[in-house]
Structure 1
Amino acid sequence: MSFLPPGAYKPAVDHWGSFQKLSKRLPEGSLAVVDKTVVGFHPGLIPALEARNPRAIVQITGGERAKNFASLEKVLSESLSLPRSGTLVVVGGGTLGDVATVAAHLLKRGVRLVQVPTTLLAAVDSSLGGKGAVDLTLRGRVVKNPVGVFHYADESWICPELFTSLSEDQHREGAIEAWKMVVCLDGPLFRRYMRKAPALDKLVKDARRLKESVCSQDPYEQTGLRRVLNFGHSFGHVLESLSRFKLSHGDAVGLGMLCALDVGRAMGVTPEKVATQVEEALKQGPGVLGRDRIASLIRRTPLGDVVELLAADKKAGKSGELRMILLTAIGSFEILDVSEATWRNLWPAWKQGIRP
């Protein structure tokens, strides 16, 4: 078997089934990182992991507050005895998956990683594609994902029973991310979704297929293709930060997509008909939050704070320019630099919660 260096692209390998069954795939002596909240909903997780004689089971409460260097250090300190041939399995949502991905990359300069997403959002997005990161605080505000790595999972376990404890809000934010990929990458599938909403397992499989098709062609975001996955993220991350992460990531991306549609229309890139159809689909399909939520978050925000957050975002261009994914049609897009004047002109309407 050829040796792949840490961070090397690995095709997605998905296994569907119960956690009890799939846990038997875990090598003995592995390290497990588990969301403490998920354990409360699914008490069978720990016994299944303990049956594999792990070196340690690290329990951390997931959420954006866990995505920091303190959590990373906790994982690393529990795993010093793990050999380079060892395996780290992470059972949790996107934030815990991010921390564990960074840890797997750093441990002994790279160990095997198994992703077990426990949220719909993680299943359709963050558990696939090799990216892991932690947040930093800049002048009292949290900046998302400025410190990170690429470290592709060796395999992922998709356990539908883990999704049964999710709230309606958690289902919505995962569905928003899945629809994001369909809107940008697959026009015919979008039209099928409009005729009939997909079942949960199909939504997950479609989203993972679309994301994998992008990541396989641009595993390290070097050709520009993979940037399509950031549709809605530029202003989505701003709104998320301004809410001090009371606004969930999926909901923030949904609102960020509305902002991106407005920017595209203002620049003459996104046709009016396309913007209207997509916004209506996001409302009727996954149920994106209303524009009044944007207004409530930015109404008293100094524009200087927004400029600073956009400049700190990892998606900015080399000279700090705002680089956004803008739809040209359903299923196609362009990556364009957006001037500050363009989005500033939209700001008054956004503050009022209306479509510019």
Structure 2
Amino acid sequence: MISSPPGAYRHSNDQWGSFKRLSANLPEGSLVVLDRKVAKLHPTVLTALKARRPHAVLQLTGGERAKSFEALEQVLSAGLTLPRSGTLVAMGGGTIGDVSTMAAHLLKRGVRLVQVPTTLLAAVDSSLGGKGAVDVTVRGRVVKNPVGVFHYAEETWLCPELFASLSDTQRREGALEAWKMVASLDAELFQAYTRRAPALERLVKDARRLKESVCAQDPYEQQGLRRVLNFGHTFGHVLESVSHFKLSHGDAVGLGMLCALDVGRALGVTPPNVAERVEAALQKGPGVLGRERTAQLLGRAALKDIQVLLAADKKTGAGGELRMVLLTDIGVAEIRDVTAPQWRALWPAWTQGVRP
């Protein structure tokens, strides 16, 4: 039987357990890309890794700066002598996972990848789906993810003890990404979550199941089905950029969802009662930041800069229209083209921190 090449699409192979137990199966001579903060917070991780005689353990500082060509070059240099049959382990949050996925795809035209998400956000979202990307600066503004690859992980290790050190902010931003999928994909689960907030492990398993169900239908984003996962990302990425990435990705997506609800309501796509229910659930459940935060960020930016960021977004159509994910009901989303005059009409309310 001929096996799939490294990085080819495969259904998620999630392994739950302690890092010490799971790492015992790591092939010797693997390249590990490890978030420096994780190494400091969880010193036993390095002990377990060294027991497997790694090719190298490259420590990087997590955060948006890790998604750069400079960081990618560091990973590639560390893995130059890794064999084609080698393994790259990405251990950290989403940014470490992104640059490691890029490197795994490029090294020897593809090596085996193992994801070990250490943040809730990476666990519910970025470690699943095969995407890796780096950022590019355009006219002084950082554009998120315009250069990337698909390279699926062979395994994902989910180690609950690594989540114990997460801050309330990190838990909130991960929960917001999970609620994004629930609100746009599963009405029944949305109802259940509004009645009783799920435990962390349940939240991770539900979010990964929902994302996997979408990715399995469109693994390389060729049919457009995966676009539904971008609910809240169009203006979320803009808010991240104008904050110079002081606003976390999950919090940005939360505010981006509010913008998407506003756009949908203004276009007559999202029924007002649906928009109100989702916004109330995001406030009560994961705790989306207030609209005043959107106003603070957009108030510092020129409208022309916002247009540059949106034009560079990979979800923009050929005519410059935004391809936005808008809700038509709880658990039901559609892709709609939104013209510049349509979203600009909401700008005054957004910069005042009020619902249009």
TM-score range, shorter-chain basis? over 0.9
Structure 2 unaligned regions, length at least 5: none
3-state SS of paired residue (1:147): strand
Q: What is the alpha-carbon distance in structure 1 between the residues aligned to residue 189 and residue 129 of structure 2? A: 21
Amino acid at match of 1:221: E
1:32 — aligned with what? 32
Q: What is the alpha-carbon distance in structure 2 between the residues aligned to residue 82 and residue 276 of structure 1? A: 52
Q: What is the alpha-carbon distance in structure 2 between the residues aligned to residue 204 and residue 2 of structure 1? A: 33
Is the contact between residue 7 and residue 149 of structure 1 (CA under 8 Å) also seen in structure 2? Answer: no
1:307 — aligned with what? 307
> How many residues align structurally?
356
Please report how far the alpha carbon of residue 220 of structure 1 lies from its aligned counterpart in structure 2 after TM superposition. Answer: 1.2
Amino acid at match of 1:87: T
Please report how far the alpha carbon of residue 319 of structure 1 lies from its aligned counterpart in structure 2 after TM superposition. Answer: 3.1
3-state SS of paired residue (2:346): helix
Please report how far the alpha carbon of residue 10 of structure 1 lies from its aligned counterpart in structure 2 after TM superposition. Answer: 1.0
Amino acid at match of 1:179: W
Q: What is the alpha-carbon distance in structure 1 between the residues aligned to residue 2 and residue 30 of structure 2? A: 22
Is the contact between residue 33 and residue 57 of structure 1 (CA under 8 Å) also seen in structure 2? Answer: yes
Q: What is the alpha-carbon distance in structure 1 between the residues aligned to residue 334 and residue 227 of structure 2? A: 10
Q: What is the alpha-carbon distance in structure 2 between the residues aligned to residue 66 and residue 213 of structure 1? A: 29
- 2:49 maps to 1:56: no
Please report how far the alpha carbon of residue 6 of structure 1 lies from its aligned counterpart in structure 2 after TM superposition. Answer: 4.8
Is the contact between residue 41 and residue 165 of structure 1 (CA under 8 Å) also seen in structure 2? Answer: yes
Amino acid at match of 2:40: G
Amino acid at match of 2:346: L
3-state SS of paired residue (1:295): helix
Is the contact between residue 251 and residue 288 of structure 1 (CA under 8 Å) also seen in structure 2? Answer: yes
Structure 1 unaligned regions, length at least 5: none
Q: What is the alpha-carbon distance in structure 1 between the residues aligned to residue 29 and residue 271 of structure 2? A: 55
Is the contact between residue 7 and residue 153 of structure 2 (CA under 8 Å) also seen in structure 1? Answer: no
- TM-score with structure 1 length normalisation? 0.99
Q: What is the alpha-carbon distance in structure 2 between the residues aligned to residue 106 and residue 300 of structure 1? A: 38
Amino acid at match of 1:280: A
Q: What is the alpha-carbon distance in structure 2 between the residues aligned to residue 6 and residue 309 of structure 1? A: 34
3-state SS of paired residue (1:306): helix
Q: CA RMSD in A?
A: 0.8
1:180 — aligned with what? 180
**For structure 1, which segment, 313-322 or 155-164, has the greater mean C-alpha deviation from structure 2 after superposition?**
313-322
Give the alignment of 1:73-92 within 5 angstroms: 73-92=73-92
Deviations 1:48-96 (A, max 9, x none): 0111111100000100111101111111101111110110011100000
1:15 — aligned with what? 15
Is the contact between residue 6 and residue 111 of structure 1 (CA under 8 Å) also seen in structure 2? Answer: yes
Please report how far the alpha carbon of residue 140 of structure 1 lies from its aligned counterpart in structure 2 after TM superposition. Answer: 1.1
Q: What is the alpha-carbon distance in structure 2 between the residues aligned to residue 314 and residue 44 of structure 1? A: 40
- 2:221 maps to 1:221: yes
Amino acid at match of 1:124: V
3-state SS of paired residue (2:62): coil
Is the contact between residue 270 and residue 327 of structure 1 (CA under 8 Å) also seen in structure 2? Answer: yes
- 2:297 maps to 1:297: yes
1:348 — aligned with what? 348
- TM-score with structure 2 length normalisation? 0.99
Q: What is the alpha-carbon distance in structure 2 between the residues aligned to residue 320 and residue 344 of structure 1? A: 14
Give the alignment of 1:1-356 within 5 angstroms: 1-356=1-356
Please report how far the alpha carbon of residue 7 of structure 1 lies from its aligned counterpart in structure 2 after TM superposition. Answer: 4.3
Q: What is the alpha-carbon distance in structure 1 between the residues aligned to residue 83 and residue 10 of structure 2? A: 21
Deviations 1:91-131 (A, max 9, x none): 10000000000000000000000000000000000000000
Please report how far the alpha carbon of residue 139 of structure 1 lies from its aligned counterpart in structure 2 after TM superposition. Answer: 1.3
Q: What is the alpha-carbon distance in structure 2 between the residues aligned to residue 272 and residue 30 of structure 1? A: 52
Please report how far the alpha carbon of residue 317 of structure 1 lies from its aligned counterpart in structure 2 after TM superposition. Answer: 1.7
Q: What is the alpha-carbon distance in structure 2 between the residues aligned to residue 236 and residue 242 of structure 1? A: 10
Amino acid at match of 1:183: A
